[in-house]
Amino acid sequence: MHDVIAHGAQIPALGFGTFRMAEPDVVRMVPQVLKLGFRHIDTAQAYGNEAAVGEGIARSGIARGEVFLTTKVWVDRYRQGDLQRSVDESLGRLRTDYVDLLLLHWPNDAVPLAEQIGALNAVRQAGRARHIGISNFNTAQMAEAAGLSAAPLVTNQVEYHPYLDQSFVLEAARAAGMALTAYYPMADGKVLQDPVLRDIAARHSRSVAQVVLRWLVQQEGVVALSKTVREDRATENLAIADLVLDAAEMAAIHALARPDGRLVSPPGLAPTWDAAG
């Protein structure tokens, strides 16, 4: 699987996400997916499983330098000083002295954005994060954050699947030299019974999950996070490098987007989302 290049960051286009994954499953699955060939693991302070991710990487036998590791700072730790302390705590749980990518998990207007971005840069300058970025920011917030940052922001991690048009955010990310990292690619399982996707999958003798992941990573600048607690499905998800969707198939999947397609918009955290591009 190829890497997505963004401001010098080489991000493996297909990652393994651990959102809502219990610690025993994380400890079991992380070594397995790394042995299968995954090289990108995504976690967050809010997931409560950083320690399990750290244990899983240690158990895998794969050298730390071969794994692109992402974590995210939760919104209650954005103050200068506190953010840095929270990262040190995360690194302790992850059993490493750096992460490859550190993100602000959601916007938080209670702390000045300049303070948040300044603290994020301080972590990078201290060598505790190789790259920095944001998550769940709208395009106005993306632009403001990028303008405040001494170091380039390399990604905005957002919900993205066939039912949610993220073209506006993707265009803004590309213009800024950033990647878009897609979470919830299976739309909480809703895509799996979609007749359009099932037809495309049947034509290629592939699964719907493979088609959706390929649709994402076949788009310029898009990284996709897959998630499963089954080794056979992880093997399947990784086996998409030789799958190529034609222009008509890509367009048919894009056409599935609908106005009510967004699934993740928690009150008190979600910003005012951009309209579809």
pLDDT tens-digit readout, 184-203: 999 999 999 999 999 999 99
pLDDT at position 222 is 98
Beta strands 9-12 and 3-6: pairing type? antiparallel
pLDDT at position 203 is 98
H helices within the chain, ranges in order? 23-36, 50-60, 82-94, 113-125, 139-148, 167-175, 195-204, 208-217, 231-238, 247-254
Two tokens at 56?
Answer: 């899983």
CATH 3.20.20.100 is right for the domain spanning 3-185+218-236: yes
Mind listing the pLDDT tens digit for each residue in 50-104? 999 999 999 999 999 999 999 999 999 999 999 999 999 999 999 999 999 999 9
Interatomic CA distance for residues 53 and 75, integer angstroms: 21
5: β partners: 10
pLDDT at position 188 is 95
Q: Catalytic residue numbers?
A: 47
pLDDT at position 171 is 97
Mean pLDDT of 169-197: 98
180: β partners: 156, 222
pLDDT bucket at 1, cuts 50 / 70 / 90 = confident
Interatomic CA distance for residues 101 and 273, integer angstroms: 24
Interatomic CA distance for residues 83 and 8, integer angstroms: 24
Mean pLDDT of 227-240: 97
Two tokens at 111?
Answer: 């702390």
pLDDT at position 148 is 98
pLDDT bucket at 158, cuts 50 / 70 / 90 = very high
pLDDT bucket at 275, cuts 50 / 70 / 90 = confident
User: Is the pLDDT reported for residue 277 higher than 70?
Assistant: no
Show me where the domains of the chain are located.
3-185+218-236
pLDDT at position 228 is 97
276: Cβ contacts below 8 Å, ≥ 6 apart: 165, 167, 168, 257, 259
Mean pLDDT of 228-233: 97
